[in-house]
Amino acid sequence: MPSFATSPGTRDILAPDAARWRAFQQVFADGVETAGFTHIIPPMFEDLGVFLRVGESTEIVTKEMYDFEDKGGRRIALRPEQTASVCRAFVEHRPTTPWKVWYAGPNFRYEKPQQGRYRQFDQVGVEVLGVDDPMLDAEVIGLAINFYRRLGLSGVEVRLNSLGDSGDRDRYSAALHAHFSGNADSLSPESRSTLERNPLRVLDSKRPEDASLIAAAPRMSDHLSEAAATHFSAVQDALRRAGVDFVVDDRLVRGLDYYRRTTFEFVSTRLTAAHTAIGGGGRYDGLVAALGGPDTSGIGFALGLDRTLLACDAEGVFGAPRSRIEVFVVDATGGREAESICAHLRAAGIGSDRAYDQRSMKAQMKSADRSGAALCIIVGDDERLAQSVIIRTMEGGSQQTVSRADLVSHVTRMLGH
């Protein structure tokens, strides 16, 4: 029979990593819910148009989208990100503003798989719709920074820029186009083609042959309207008040077309090569309108779970949680004792496991070792007759015999609950 393995760019997340993922999402949820964000779970696929509307000139949409026709002839896409879905949901349900939501879950992009870059990858994120206040921009950035701190990460840098209002962005885009097309011969072929679709994205090129032209390119900061410049400096003031360090990087343009004004990226200083960006976000003041809703400003971020955990590995923080098994029951009498003792312990909320198939004592002790339990309970014929059990500490191996009736209270005390 042929056997199968996961598709390129996808992985099975097994123990203990799966519990680490869940803990990651839980830490995130706790932080943002404390700040007034409610949970949204958008569908994993949507009408292709939702994503086309927001980024027709971006690589995410042109090259990386998993789109297909379903059996009913609809054009569908697996979501490459969740901001568009949140905005579609806003237009569909018209909640009162400010609407502050958070999400967690997988996204799909047809990318070249490598370390830190997958075809199915997880993000956690927030979006706020209906607020213009620059204080919110700083608050949102601060939320991400606090989350990184709670994970234990210290090597995270905030890069900050303003893309201006849509008029500024268009003027800047034209200035970039003039700059790059005047020197098109010295650009890489990839950037020459990006230039025709979206001149801003040329700034994002990491190709060495483009570096000098990019360095000499006009600066966004010289093309900001007064309103956008005032907003940007208010964001920076609020970040300083909050004690959040940041670096202004006016080459930071980021993916989607709908970003306006504040834009930011979180970079791990401990990761290398192509995957140092562990999160990013910004304002997208035209997106809701582009999806058929009223003019509504928006801001949010998405943090890549997979890459952030790589950063945690690099810093040696936020390891996998301990096994939930605290007690392993070794039954030399056939298994019925383990059956009732486990039922008892579990009912009392004590994680416990056992062996099956009447394995030998030696094999059962090995399983106890592997289980991560702190205590082992041993029952042989003598204990069964005497209605007692032996409790043995896995570390140190000290043993005591206690009556079955006192088992739960003894174990609870020994585990320090």
Residues found near ligand ATP in the complex (CB under 6 A): 81, 109, 111, 116-118, 121, 123, 254-255, 277-280, 302, 304, 306-307
The smaller minimum CB distance to ligand ATP, of residues 278 and 342, is found at 278
Tokens of 317: 């923080």
Distances (CA, A) of 104 to 38, 46, 374, 406: 12, 17, 33, 44
- Looking at beta carbons only, is 10 or 367 nearer to ligand ATP? 10
Q: Do residues 310 and 271 touch, judged by C-beta distance below 8 A?
A: yes
Question: Beta-carbon neighbour count of residue 305 at 10 Å?
Answer: 22
Give min distance, CB of 83 to ligand ATP, in A.
9
**Is the backbone peptide bond immediately before 98 cis, with ω within 30 degrees of 0?**
yes
Question: Is residue 24 within 8 Å of residue 318, measured between CB atoms?
Answer: yes
Please state, in angstroms and rounded to a whole number, the distance separating the CA atoms of residues 413 and 417: 6
Nearer to ligand ATP, 54 or 131 (CB): 54
**CA proximity to 108, closest of 27, 51, 28, 32:** 51
274 DSSP 8-state letter: G
Query: Whole-number minimum distance, CB 50 to ligand ATP, in Å?
Result: 16
By residue count, the chain amounts to 417
Apex 181 CA angle, 163 and 228, nearest 5: 15
Which residue number, 112 or 322, has a Cβ lying nearer to ligand ATP?
112
The least CB distance from residue 116 to ligand ATP, in Å, is 6
Across the beta sheet with 67-69, the strand order is 45-47, 75-78, 67-69
d(CA 141, CA 315): 22
Least distance (Å) between residue 111 CB and ligand ATP = 5
Nearer to ligand ATP, 198 or 371 (CB): 198
Query: Closest distance between ligand ATP and the C-beta of residue 193, in Å?
Result: 18
Q: Is 45 or 121 the residue whose CB approaches ligand ATP more closely?
A: 121
Q: Which is nearer to ligand ATP, 63 or 150 (CB)?
A: 63
At 96, give phi and psi (nearest 5°): -70, 150
Who contacts 74 (Cβ-Cβ below 8 Å, separation ≥6)?
47
From CA 417, how far away is CA 411, in angstroms rounded?
9
Residue sitting closest to ligand ATP (CB): 304
Place of tokens 């009913």: 72
Angle at the Cα of 399 from the Cα atoms of 397 and 401, rounded to 5 degrees: 160
Q: In angstroms, what is the minimal distance from the CB of 49 to ligand ATP?
A: 19
The distance of closest approach from Cβ of residue 307 to ligand ATP in the complex, given in angstroms and rounded to an integer, is: 4
Rounded least distance, CB 144 to ligand ATP, Å: 11
Q: Which is nearer to ligand ATP, 318 or 328 (CB)?
A: 318
